[in-house]
Chain A
């Protein structure tokens, strides 16, 4: 424990250099903008900014990109409160009471509770990260290919089960992502696959093209098809004088913030869209234990403070599996994994010992970043919100242009731009057909690792699948996977039986 605190102090030393403070600030500001802009979430935001980090060292780059992630979470709630439109999916729940508070003239108070809640979550989250990631990384040293394969299977199944859409469709998306991941050179034999003699395809599909395409351009295309009246929105602007909640408000919300922090941290450790699930869970808990549940849905401040703390806490906890196992459990961390690899850092059990300055520096920067968010966003919330005054019909072409330039600048390749456009069209259809893009992106990033682990496992066992069940850790992951497969099936059968009996 003491050792972790010492490392954390070193991390603060790294994060507080002038250069890293600057990139942390830039990341949180860009993240807030990304969160505020409907149609541009943290995934596309991080992917778009990766080329900008090429000139930086890995630590500064990840500090900035991580800032975009948690900054976007904060920015997303701004639009939920002021506009009743969530900037990204994790802010959907904030619409319920946040917007009602704004309608009652308490927009400033709601925004302040979001910022304070996020800061409280960051304060506890940083210690959770510092104490949990190192032992997990140590445990992961015992993982061999079968354990990694089973863990990735578990991650896909759990993620597919909790994304909110159809489980079957999410599994299909994971398979599509895995297939796309096989394009290019075979990671074991080096043979070309699905490349059709194209040198560009031999290099594989750039994951940034899929991230910007499906999550950026796909969202833009969906918005572009909306009726004209929806392309213009009315914004409720907060007054500066309202931005500071009273002591009584804080007393009423602090427990909700702490509960949200705990819930969010727990969700961040399991595969799935952690911030989304955490906000829902926190809201349900607050509503159920509240002494005045009738206020929920009409502007209860616990309904804003709890979920917003959970949101931020889940973001921080999501870095634990990424840094200690090298396996991202959520799409934004999958993009961060890609960014780490681009910068020559392979996350995993050895990262903490091989790149301590990066690991501890990024953790410390998250705390500093949340402090920046608190300091900047309260006085400047009106400035951020004023971006919403730019009509969507101007904003969408601008975002499109950024997507094109951002994609080109990753490898200076027109092939990647075309891929991004193709995946943008796919992203539009995925929304139309109600498919989730998250499992696709995660599978694309993890696909090659998964295939190597699968093939190595079979080599070890001379072609026997027993290797996955004879090893206890692998068996535990597969048992958890089976449980996640059986639970929805059992619930669905029960629902059908009930409906049949009722009719």
Chain B
């Protein structure tokens, strides 16, 4: 928890610092006639201050808090599985322009189902094919959304 707090706060501190530095390259103006950089500069500095407070707080001795469990408990998340899941999304999205939406939707389903543990290829292929065909019918035919077409024209 403490490590998560520090990680997050450092990221937001850096985000605030970058914002402040970039804002300084814009016209700051005066309070009477604020330039385009004044508002983001103030926000960036404030973000740095608040993120620093979170970091300081993370090292502060915490008061124990008793929490009531109401619903089904959440279990720890597998970072590797999340990275793999995201990688499939990124890789297939890069192919949208070339392969077109229909083939990409098939590939994305195939990859994501596999990562989430659908090991049976027949089931995986069937669900992916049905989804690609179904979403094409729904979005392209029924809703007339112009999704990117690839070299096959679909």
Taking Cβ atoms with an 8 Å cutoff, the residues of A that contact B are 51-52, 80, 83-86, 92-93, 95-96, 166, 168-169, 171-172, 175-176, 178-179, 182, 186, 188-189, 191, 193-194, 217, 221-222, 224-228, 230-231, 392-394, 396-398, 400-401, 404-405, 408-409, 412, 414, 417-418, 421, 424-425, 428-430, 432-435, 451, 454-455, 458-459, 462-465, 495-496, 499
Contact = CB atoms under 8 A, between A and B. Distances in A.
A178 B139 CA distance: 34
A224 B115 contact: yes
A228 B117 CA distance: 7
A496 B30 contact: no
A84 B39 contact: no
Given A191-B27, A397-B113, A414-B96, A168 B40 contact: no
A136 B128 CA distance: 52
Contacts of A405: 101, 105, 135, 139, 145, 147
Given A84-B71, A191-B27, A429-B8, A224 B43 contact: no
Contact of B72 (A85, A225, A398): A85
A119 to B, nearest CB: 25
Given A84-B71, A225-B82, 9 more contacts: A85-B72, A393-B118, A396-B112, A397-B131, A400-B108, A401-B108, A424-B86, A459-B33, A463-B31
Looking at A393, A429, A430, the one whose CB has the most chain B CB atoms below 10 A away is A393
Interface in B5-41: 5, 7-9, 11-12, 15-16, 19, 22, 26-27, 30-40
B109 A226 contact: no
B63 A172 contact: no
Contact of A397 (B32, B116, B147): B116
15 contacts: A85-B71, A85-B72, A92-B70, A168-B50, A182-B40, A194-B19, A222-B77, A225-B82, A227-B75, A433-B4, A434-B1, A454-B39, A455-B34, A463-B31, A499-B63
Contacts of B19: 179, 194
B85 to A, nearest CB: 4
B146 interface: yes
A458 B34 contact: yes
- How extensive is the interface on chain B, given as a class? 35 or more
B39 A400 contact: no
B64 to A, nearest CB: 8
Contacts, number: 186
A412 B85 CA distance: 24
A94 B143 CA distance: 36
B32 A458 contact: yes
A338 B1 CA distance: 35
A408 B147 contact: yes
B54 A459 contact: no
B116 to A, nearest CB: 4
Given A179-B43, A191-B36, A401-B109, A433 B8 contact: yes
B122 interface: no
